[in-house]
Each structure stands twice: as C-alpha cells, then as structure tokens.
Amino acid sequence: MSQAQASSRLRLARAVARVVMATAMVGIGIQHFRNPGPFIRIVPAWLPAPGLLVALSGVAEIALGLALLAPSGKVRRWAGYGLVALLVAVFPANVNMAIHQIQLTEGGTLPVWAMWARLPLQALFIALSLWATKPEPAPSAEASS
C-alpha cells in the first residue's frame, strides 16, 4: 500500500470515528434533557445543583458533538480537547455510580461489574477523542515522508 493510500485510509477512519462520536455525544446530550433523572442520580452528593450540572454537561455534549463535524480541522481539534475536559469532568459521577452501586433507573439491573467497567472506558474515549481530531499532515509533508 502506498503512503497516499495509507494516509487516505487513516483520514477515512478518523472521519468515521468523528461521526460515530458526534452521533453518540449529541444523542447522549439530548437524553440529558429528555430524561435527566439517571444523570442527576449519579452526580456525587458533594457537588452543588445536580440538575444544573446535568443540563450544562448536556449542552456541552451536544455542542462538542456537533463541533466534531465542523469542516475546520482547528474546530474539530478544539472539540477533541473539549471532549477530554468533559470526560474528565463527568468522571466523578461514574465513580460515584460504581462505588455506591447506583442504578440508572428505578429497579435497574445493571451489574456492578459493568459499573466498574465503565471507568477505564473513559480513558479509551479520551484517547479516541484525541486521535479522531488529530490534525492531518499537510499534503507536502506526506509527499516528502
């Protein structure tokens, strides 16, 4: 496979990852408004105004998800950084859920192991956010490599 073909495949993989992430982020962000209860339920007690925090994180998820689809690579890159910040910011809620075994729904049956398994997935999502929004090399740099 030529360098140009490999570069083209890499660009395509990143574009697909951005679309998948954007769809997930916007969908989850909308859920923060359609059904805020599960999100409010997992906000740690030491944080103020859980409803407001859930709404703010919902707005951030929608905005950052849409920004992943921007034609500008610079906007997409900043969206990636924003997603990293958001994932770090909501991590305490995921830890709270696992430690206190909080079900997302009344009478829910999510296994405790799944609550704990969500935690390392945050690192995967952070890495994916950075990888999918990484700037592509300039065409002249590709040709000279």
Q: Tell me what the mean pLDDT of segment 62-80 comes to.
A: 96
The domain segmentation of the chain, as residue ranges, is 3-135
Q: Look up residue 33 and give its two tokens.
A: 């408004």
Q: Look up residue 73 and give its two tokens.
A: 């690579």
> Which of the four pLDDT bands, split at 50, 70 and 90, describes residue 47?
very high
Spatial contact of 21 and 128, defined as CB atoms under 8 Å apart:
yes
Structural Rg of the chain based on CA atoms:
18
* Whether this model's pTM surpasses 0.75: yes
Give dist(CA 102, CA 57) in Å, integer: 19
Q: Tell me what the mean pLDDT of segment 43-56 comes to.
A: 97
Q: What is the pLDDT of residues 121-135, one digit of tens each?
A: 999 999 999 999 998
The per-residue pLDDT for 5 is 84
Give dist(CA 26, CA 39) in Å, integer: 15
What are the φ and ψ backbone dihedral angles of 44, each rounded to 5 degrees?
-60, 145
CB count within 10 Å of CB 22 equals 21
CB count within 10 Å of CB 76 equals 21
The per-residue pLDDT for 142 is 46
Instruction: Report the percentage of the chain scoring pLDDT > 90.
Output: 83
> Which of the four pLDDT bands, split at 50, 70 and 90, describes residue 139?
low
